Amino acid sequence: MATFQMLSKVGEDIQHWSHPQHSLNLVFAQSLYTCSGCKEYGAGLRYRCNRCNFHMHEFCAKAPSTAIHPYHTQHQLFFHNKPGGLKKSKCGVCGKATNGSAFCCPTCSFCIHPCCLQLPPELTMKEHPQHSLKLASASPLPNNSPYTCNACNKIGTSWVYYCAPCKFYLHALCAKGVINGFQAQGINAPPKKGKVARATRYASQVVRIFVDGVLVGLGEGVLDVINS
């Protein structure tokens, strides 16, 4: 599978080519961050510059220059720091724009977020703990008819994690929380665009997390989000 070798330890310092002026320190914090590499959200473990507002997913900091995706085995994917000419491209798995670094196939213009490259062929989700879910690149229903995602209740026709006997479906997009740390940190969904929506969502997030009795560090991130 396309998971990268990660043998780093919390507290470890690295030098990263994208931020040559300071070293980055691997830290654990529950707060939400935007990865300075892929521009996607993350929570939990991250490489952080202690002097700048610079955060990076561990797998982005350690991204190899080439990778193979199990559903795109015909060509190698190449790591692009900033997609530049491929800027308008969408991730071939989650369907969202690739605004930062991504893995791309120059032949097919298939691009994928570093997070999405980590989505495994099988996954166990807390929403459906009894069976593992299988990844498919298209709806597994007869005639490729749309499925309804059990997380967001919207329909989908492409990349999905599913359990056929239970008719349980989850957009690959909605499974990203397993990879980016949201699931482990109890964050339900990425913030919506627009400050009001973000502030409201995160205000309720604080309450929820506090009720769960695990309020550590999120407050700091909340203020960052609201003030940004």
Residue 185 near residue 43 (C-beta atoms within 8 A): yes
For the chain, counts of helices (H) and of strands (E)? 7, 14
C-alpha span between 156 and 139 (Å, rounded): 7
Helix, strand, or coil here: 178? Answer: helix
Binding of residue 218 to Zn ion (CB under 5 A): no
Residues 4-23 that bind Zn ion (CB under 5 A): 22
Pick the piece of the chain touching Zn ion (CB under 5 A) from 159-167, 177-185, 190-198, 199-207: 159-167
Distances (CA, A) of 101 to 26, 42, 46, 79, 211: 20, 14, 16, 7, 36
Residue 126 vs 213, nearer CB to Zn ion = 126
CA torsion, ordered 186, 71, 78, 63, to nearest 10 deg: 30
Residues 61-100 that bind Zn ion (CB under 5 A): 75, 91, 93-94
Residue 51 vs 210, nearer CB to Zn ion = 51
Binding of residue 175 to Zn ion (CB under 5 A): no
Greatest Cα pair distance in the chain: 54
Residue 91 near residue 71 (C-beta atoms within 8 A): no
Binding of residue 35 to Zn ion (CB under 5 A): yes
Residue 22 vs 201, nearer CB to Zn ion = 22
Pick the piece of the chain touching Zn ion (CB under 5 A) from 10-18, 81-89, 152-160, 206-214: 152-160
Residues 109-148, mask of contacts with Zn ion (x by CB under 5 A): ----x--x--------------x-----------------
Give the interface with Zn ion as residue ranges (CB under 5 A). 22, 35, 37-38, 49, 51-52, 57, 60, 75, 91, 93-94, 105, 107-108, 113, 116, 131, 149, 151-152, 163, 166, 171, 174
